[in-house]
Each structure stands twice: as C-alpha cells, then as structure tokens.
Amino acid sequence: MENEKIKSVLENHNLRKTPARIEILQLFLKESQAVSHGDLEDVLLNKFDRVTIYRTLNSFEEKGIIHKVFDSSGVAKYALCNHNCSEKEHHDEHVHFNCTACGNTYCIEETQIPSISIPEKYKARSLYLIAEGICSTCSE
C-alpha cells in the first residue's frame, strides 16, 4: 500500500518515479520529524550521491511535496507537506517545534501562525514561527 501511495504522490506532482525519489519519499513517510540533507545522506549515501539527494529535495520542495524549516542552529530541515501544497503555493504556515534535548524538529500543524500585518511596500512570501523546548518524547 505504501508503495502505491508513493507512486501516486509522484504522479500527482508530475515527477518521474526514479529509485532515488521513491526511496527518499519513503523515508519522509516513515519520519515523524523534519530531516536534514545530512540525515538523508547518513541513510542513503551508499545508494545515492549527495547531488542526487540535493536535487531530489529541491524537486520535492518545488512541487509542494515537502517544505523547508530551519532549526535553532540554522540548519535547513525538510518535512512532508500534509495539505494540498503545489508548485504554485505551499500551505505550511504552522508552528515548528525544536526540541532542545534531542535536536529534532517537528511540525505542529494544529497550531497555525497568526496573521500579521506587513506594510504595503513589503511582500511576504513565507512566515516561520519556531518554538523551542522539550518534545513529548524527551519529557517522559
């Protein structure tokens, strides 16, 4: 079933079903937290080179499959988009939570970023709200 979901996601976003895309998307489906390029390299470097992983992440982000969030140290991490994101528009304006104990970054989709007023001369393309603290796993 998972394999069918992966193929469906790639087809719906007009992406070819390459081994790298299938495997990377499979990893995203298994993760509950955002992952960095380095995290993916640790798992996949014996199968795919850094450039392939990087290009796959870029394609997924451009097509609205994943979104980027920065952790408290400034490292870019990626998480699956759980809404109807597309290459024209991402709907990932929710709170991201960085755990100061384990270093994981989580999407807290049930907590939306509040609307803010931007002066007319500025055009905001995205908003980020990062909360830091101890995640539910580390607080047990």
Ranges of each domain in the chain: 2-133
| Per-residue model confidence as pLDDT tens digits over 120-138 | 999 887 777 889 999 999 9
pLDDT value, residue 33: 92
Higher pLDDT among residues 64 and 86, named by residue: 64
Q: Above 70 in pLDDT, residue 90?
A: no
Mean pLDDT of 88-111: 84
86 band by pLDDT with thresholds 50, 70 and 90: low
Looking at residue 70, its pLDDT comes to: 87
Residue 1 has pLDDT above 60, yes or no: no
Instruction: Note the pLDDT of residue 125.
Output: 76
Closest to 43 (Cα-Cα) out of 58, 32, 28: 28
pTM for this model (two decimals): 0.83
Mean pLDDT computed over every residue of the chain: 88
Asked whether the beta carbons of 127 and 67 are under 8 A apart, the reply is: no
Mention the CATH class of domain 2-133. Answer: mainly alpha
DSSP for residue 82: -
CA 12 to chain CA centroid, Å, is 18
C-alpha 69/C-alpha 33 separation (Å) is 11
